[in-house]
Amino acid sequence: MSRLVYILNGPNLNLLGKRQPHIYGHETLADVERDCRALAKELKLDIAFHQSNREYELIDWIHAARESAGGIVINPAAFTHTSIALLDALNTFEPPVIEVHISQVHKREAFRHHSYVSNRADAVMAGFGTQGYQLALRRIARLMEEAAAKRA
């Protein structure tokens, strides 16, 4: 079974740490990647960590994940609230998907309360700060183990 997890990040997350730090905190995306890689080692997972401001690139990575990955952790950022195309792509991917939001989107503007991606996600993390990525990674490791046990 694949131990590869794709961790995908949508638009503006390249500015993490500089962008509205009162909402998203001071950690950069490079910090998040470093912490995910350290945890992945512990969990014996391989990770492919990507960020793009372009919807089609996220879709292409989801298609690539179909060929090789056992799970996806995705922070679709603003595409969460707009992209049926991302939802359609995730619907072609069978293994576990966890949606992550650094901020507590339900406490924010009404337009952030709806997520197309939640229609597919097996779990949603919101408001855990950047720690949400690590919690999602731990959970996805568990879901992947459960799926493997079922297949055995």
Q: Is 24 among the catalytic positions?
A: yes
- Please pick, from the candidates 2, 14, 53, 103, the single residue that binds ligand DQA as defined by CB under 6 A: 103
Residue from 6, 101, 116, 133 carrying the catalytic annotation:
101
Query: 2 vs 103, which CB is nearer to ligand DQA?
Result: 103
130 binds ligand DQA (CB under 6 A): no
- Please pick, from the candidates 32, 36, 77, 136, the single residue that binds ligand DQA as defined by CB under 6 A: 77
Q: Quick one: three-class SS letters along 62-131?
A: HHHHHHHCCEEEEECHHHHHCCHHHHHHHCCCCCCEEEEECCCHHHCCHHHCCCCHHHCCCEEEECCCCH
Q: Is 101 among the catalytic positions?
A: yes
Measuring CA to CA, how many Å separate 88 from each of 8, 29, 84? Answer: 16, 26, 6
105 binds ligand DQA (CB under 6 A): yes
Q: How many residues does the chain have?
A: 152
Q: Residue for token digits 């949508």? A: 10
82 binds ligand DQA (CB under 6 A): no
Q: Which residues of the chain form contacts with ligand DQA (CB under 6 A)? A: 12, 75, 77-78, 80, 101-103, 105, 112
